[in-house]
Amino acid sequence: GEKVEQHESTLSVREGDSAVINCTYTDTASSYFPWYKQEAGKSLHFVIDIRSNVDRKQSQRLIVLLDKKAKRFSLHITATQPEDSAIYFCAASRNMGYKLTFGTGTSLLVDP
């Protein structure tokens, strides 16, 4: 089955800097890659996703890049703010309405 590896378990940046979280996946049939944010004691909140028909997607300060050849995708948070501090999970799925396989999470700390 699909395996998703999230490479950074913790990441610390200064406010205003960029943060990058990297993930790799194993299933070549995966075509949908969402990112979720989890604040302390709370549930998962969807932040951005990318489908395999594009290699870049941006939503305000969030950019997702997808390299299908390398089976790698990444989340870039630009101009970080203290409220960006949370655990970020990457995930992969084969298609719409299919189960998600999650990475192990990256704890991002933005120092003010």
Partner 1 sequence: EAGVTQSPRYAVLQEGQAVSFWCDPISGHDTLYWYQQPRDQGPQLLVYFRDEAVIDNSQLPSDRFSAVRPKGTNSTLKIQSAKQGDTATYLCASSWTGKDTQYFGPGTRLLVL
DSSP 3-state helix, strand, coil percentages of the chain (rounded to 5)? 5, 55, 40
What does the alpha-carbon distance between residue 36 and residue 87 come to, in Å, rounded to a whole number? Answer: 8
Minimum distance of partner 1 from residue 88's CB (angstroms): 11
Helices (H), the chain: none
Q: Is 60 in the site for partner 1 (CB under 8 A)?
A: no
Residue 62 interacts with partner 1 (CB under 8 A): yes or no: no
Q: Does 74 bind partner 1 (CB under 8 A)?
A: no
- Contact residues for partner 1, defined by CB under 8 A: 4, 6, 32, 34, 36, 42-46, 49, 51, 89, 91, 93, 95-97, 99-105
